Structure 1
Amino acid sequence: MTWQPEIDELRRRSAMVEKMGGPEKIKRQHDAGRLTVRERLNLLLDEGSFHEIGALAGRAEYDENGELVELRPSNTVFGRGKLEGRPVIVSGDDFTVRGGAADASIKAKQIMAEQMANELRLPLIRLIEGTGGGGSVKTLEVDGRTYLPANPAWEWVVDNMSQVPVVSLALGPVAGLGAARAVASHYSLMIKDQSQLFVAGPPVVARTGEAVDKEGLGGSSIHTRNGAIDDEVADEEEAFARTRQFLSYLPASVFELAARSPCDDPVERRDNWLIDAVPRDNRKVYKMRKIIDSVVDAGSFIEIGKYYGRSAITGLARLDGWPVALLAGDPYFFGAGWTADASNKVTRFVDLADTFHLPVVHLVDNPGFVIGTDAEKAATIRHGARTLSAIYQTNVPWCSVIIRRVFGVAGAGHTNASRLKYRYAWPSSDWGSLPIEGGIEAAYKSDLEASDDPEALHQEIIERLNHVRSPFRTAEAFLVEEVIDPRDTRPLLCEFANLAAPLREPGRRSYGLRP
């Protein structure tokens, strides 16, 4: 007696599932320039490592004799695999089966993917296309009833934000619940000219009187600029490469620590050009990213959220092989002042670092919160206060290197002042409650108004104050710990990374992380 007939049936059903939505739907997917979910899994994961779970789940059709005629698979494909040799959980939407809509889904698969990542403490990668398990009005005819809305697996989605790294890739049109799943992650990507993200698509929006196409409603140029999505890439292959790169900096879960990578970039490397990196004229800008690339391990910096909150630069890097979270100011935008968007960007980034125990390196250039009517209308101070709270709540080691300006409430938030100030200052540093150039008008208002030559008096005051604004005067009072040669920055940061590594402590934070 043998079970071979059942094994043959297993193979037959597996072959049906492999066809996905059928040749016509697969061709339509390819004609749109998009890969199928199974092609994506093959490209993303280490070769031969994918172990699918629930492959036979779907809608079956039987003949009058009870024999299986057709098995249309569920439009969620998930399982375990390896990424650069590390175990991960991957869940992908199959757009060839009803465009990812709920009437072709089995929500238990989506739920299990989230739960498996949580309970096995493994990174989760979501390949999202369509509604991601969200609703379709066709379910009303199929089920013969309507239902109260629910968000499947959302309890796991929420908890995973505080427990395991989550990457969401929006690989085509993404709406409703799929859009919510895309942004409820630690790192998210869209494909330029291929991905769109919206709460509801153009046909639904048209009912409100607005006529717009998918790209105009929710293209990557919109959502990577408003902070909903972190980054845009040129194609799916680049999205998978960025996913591998991002996860390489993080532990599998908060219960582990990020691993050190081999490093052949000398710790003692001192780039001579750094001494000229910051112009003496503080009205002139400079390239902070060039400084970042100079002080971290060669080629290790991956920027996150480049097109949103652009006065702040955030990303991951390595120092002597150790992963760190890197925060910096970009003087090309608002003089590096923090806008409401920049504040929210920094808050989320600091929370990411704290969640996964990454030491923070802050290259500081912050003239304060952006001012003016637009800034007040944007509630900049409220968003900024949240950022300061995040900085003061974090427990990871923190090192600040003051590159240029530190002014006002936002500038004061370059570090948690109640902790050990592991801090260096470049000779180009300039700090205070207000910049001299703007503060004179307020502090010397009555003198200037009474003067017969206010312009000459203004210049005289500037010259007097310039004598005392040198960082060396501040160092004399030990109000800044060290003024350094900019060329020594990399060796000192590598020392910090090595001192910080044994201080990292695995485990969950006392408070959860929200998207």
Structure 2
Amino acid sequence: MTALDERPGGPAGRADGSMRERDAELARLKARVLEGPGDRETGLQRRKGKLTVRERIDLLFDKDSFTEVEPLRRHRARGFGMEAKRPYSDGVVTGWGQVHGRTVFAYAHDFRMFGGALGEAHAQKIHKLMDLAEAAGAPLVGLCDGAGARIQEGVTALAGYGGIFQRNARMSGVVPQISVIMGPCAGGAAYSPALTDFTFMVRDIAQMFITGPDVVEAVTGASVTHAELGGADVHAGVSGVAAFACDDEEECLATVRDLLAFLPSNNRELPPEQLPEDPADRRNDRLLDLVPADPGRAYDMRDVIEEIVDHGDFLEVHAGWATNVICAFARLGGRVAGVVASQPASFAGALDIDASAKAARFVQTCDAFNIPLVTLVDVPGFLPGVEQEHGGIIRHGAKLLYAYCNATVPRVQLILRKAYGGAYIVMDSRSIGADLSYAWPTNEIAVMGAEGAANVIFRREIAAAADPQAVRAERIAEYKRELMHPYYAAERGLVDDVVSPADTRRTLIRSLEMLASKHQPLPSRKHGNPPF
């Protein structure tokens, strides 16, 4: 047996001895708990390229700030050899500590005990920690490295997962919930990360799926590896299940700490501010050359965000998935903001099914946690095609529309160049509730591009003309001149001002400062019915 396999009624249960003797016995017991399983189990963990559970805890929390809960908990299961193996902690470390000086709760599976599998006592420890996080109003981080339900404990293990899922749903939008996949996460266990706000995965060691490769091959005949089925890059770039994919555990936990620095502790607080060292009135002359005036030329919107935000520093969410829209946390004048931006470098910035779902989720998360929204628009419309229509672009596009319409946080829109059709409306236009809308002098706000509009409006005239191309070009120019000039929307009050690109940072910061005390109540209702 390992050092943690203590017999019932062993040292911790002694009734004799002085207080000093008992205290010394407790210290030795706690030391063995901290030491964890033996060298063999730890060696296996190392050979898989994984850190131990205590090393992960140390990387997540500020130094010496972690307080453990129920370290002496042990299972009560009988049969199947369980009586002979009853390690303290039962394969999960739970507790709280400080991250950047603020309280954060965490549970971490220890794969060295029962493969991190969840049993009754294991689940009850997590339930208790989740209840504490909810009561204290502090973020919850789950470090997942477990083999699913503990088969030897039967249905009680499944009930344990149910208790976790129920709490995930109850705490949603109340405190930030983060899942970090650092090993296997299969079957029902995968639903808890799906219910949380952000999911991280570590390349090469993390896998997440409902049914494993063996079952997939038996049912479908397709041969697939664990990484191909549910690895970090698959979920970060194809399925969209993971918001972050990291190369190693150290980078992953450092990014978790970075994310927590942008989030409030709960939905009753504002996100943490920092004293701004980057001048609020800093000009953005670089933007005058960075963004081409020609709406058909591509550029990287990340360069625009970098130029505008404090110190050029931002944290992108879902960077590898639905790359035609950018979602990121940043600071403007020391205040946290959520940035939603078209990405002309990918599909010309057109919205599709995945981009709509990605942005909608981000908008909803920002609204839940009192994070103002800045929307940078350069969108030619929704991506056309049979696949998009049959895949439900109407329903998925409506998710983004619903999220913006339902958001009560400060909302500022900036139109850089093109903003066409329904995509213009969906990207937080004034008509759906943006508090302020600005545009650069290169903006083109219209039902559609001039070429398409001319083909519709003047179709018969162009077809009957002796020189159709000349007439078409003339009508395109006319449409641009009358309906797409940069001041058309401003003249009608749909844009609050046309601003110089060089003044973008100053304009956004002043607007967010003014809106900092915004209060917008919603109608009395149980909840809305969004187009899931």
Q: Which residue is equivalent to 1:64? A: none
Partner of 2:8: none
Deviation at 1:413, TM superposition (A): 2.1
TM-score by length of 1: 0.91
Measured in 2, the distance between the counterparts of 1:2 and 1:512 equals 62
Work out which of the residue numbers 321, 336, 340 in structure 2 matches 1:323: 336
Work out which of the residue numbers 407, 410, 417 in structure 1 matches 2:431: 417
SS in 2 for 1:457: helix
Q: Offset at 1:512?
A: 8.9
Letter in 2 for 1:305: H
In 1: Cα distance, 2:452 partner to 2:302 partner: 27
* Match in the other structure for 2:282: 269
Q: How far did residue 37 of structure 1 move? A: 0.8
Does 1:83 find its partner at 2:99?
yes
> Greater CA deviation, 505-514 or 439-448?
505-514
Q: Which residue of 1 aligns with 2:10?
A: none
**Which structure 2 residues correspond to residues 138-149 of structure 1 after superposition, within 5 A?**
138-139=152-153
Pairwise CA distance, 1:443: 2.6
Question: Matched residues in 2 for 1:436 and 1:7: separation?
Answer: 82
Cα 1:129–1:69 shift into 2, 3 Å: closer
Give the Å deviation of 1:414: 2.6
Spell out, residue by residue over 1:92-147, the C-alpha distance to the aligned partner (whole angstroms, 9 max, x if none): 0111112111358621011112111111111111101124xx3244445xx9x997
Does 2:521 correspond to 1:476? no
Q: Which residue of 1 aligns with 2:14?
A: none
Aligned partners of 2:48, 2:246: CA distance in 1, in Å?
Answer: 17
Amino acid at match of 1:363: L
Q: Deviations over 1:361-384 (max 9, x none)?
A: 111112221111121122111111
Match of 2:305 among 285, 289, 292: 292
Confirm whether residue 153 of structure 1 aligns to residue 202 of structure 2. no
Matches within 5 A, 1:498-509: 498-503=513-518
Aligned counterparts of 1:451 and 1:299: Cα–Cα separation in 2: 53
Distance in 1 between residues matched to 2:451 and 2:181, nearest whole Å: 46
Work out whether residues 408 and 519 of structure 2, in 8 Å CA contact, stay in contact via their aligned partners in 1: no
- Shift of the 420–58 alpha-carbon distance from structure 1 to 2, 3 Å rule, reads closer
Aligned counterparts of 2:175 and 2:363: Cα–Cα separation in 1: 16
Secondary structure of the corresponding residue to residue 153 of structure 1: helix
Q: Give the drift of 1:497.
A: 2.1
Return the offset for 1:345: 0.8
Partner of 2:45: 29
Higher normalized helix content (fraction of residues): 2
Identity of aligned residues (%): 31
**Larger CA deviation: 298-307 vs 13-22:** 13-22
Instruction: Indicate whether 1:404 and 2:420 are aligned.
Output: no
Given candidates 56, 60, 63, the residue that maps to 1:40 is 56
> What secondary structure is seen at the aligned counterpart in 1 of 2:94?
strand
Could you tell me which amino acid in structure 2 is paired with residue 503 of structure 1? K
The answer to whether structure 1 residue 195 and structure 2 residue 206 are counterparts is: yes
Alignment of 1:370 with 2:414, yes or no, is no
Question: Residues 200 and 227 from structure 1, CA distance in 2 versus in 1: closer, same or farther, beyond 3 angstroms?
Answer: same
The number of aligned residues is 505
Q: What amino acid does structure 2 have at the position aligned with 1:453?
A: D
Q: Which residue among 361, 380, 385 is the counterpart of 2:393?
A: 380
Label 1:471 to 1:217 Cα distance change in 2 as closer, same or farther (>3 A): same
* CA displacement 1:385-430 (0-9 Å, x = unmatched): 1211111111111111111111111211232525464111001111
* One-letter identity of the residue aligned with 1:300: D
Is the contact between residue 75 and residue 105 of structure 1 (CA under 8 Å) also seen in structure 2? Answer: no
Q: Which runs of 5+ in 2 are unaligned?
A: 1-16, 78-83
Corresponding residue for 1:51?
A: 67
Secondary structure of the structure 2 residue equivalent to 1:21? coil
For residues 488-503 of structure 1, what are the structure 2 equivalents within 5 Å? 488-503=503-518
Residue type of the partner of 2:216?
V
Q: Distance in 1 between matches of 2:122 and 2:160?
A: 16
**Structure-1 residue corresponding to 2:5:** none
Q: What amino acid sits opposite 2:342 in the alignment? A: G
CA distance in 1, matches of 2:128, 2:528: 21
Q: 1:70 to 1:183 in 2, by over 3 A?
A: closer
Query: What pairs with 1:93-492 in structure 2 (closer than 5 Å)?
Result: 93-103=109-119, 106-131=122-147, 134-139=148-153, 151-208=162-219, 209-225=221-237, 226-415=239-428, 416-417=430-431, 419=433, 421-468=435-482, 469-492=484-507
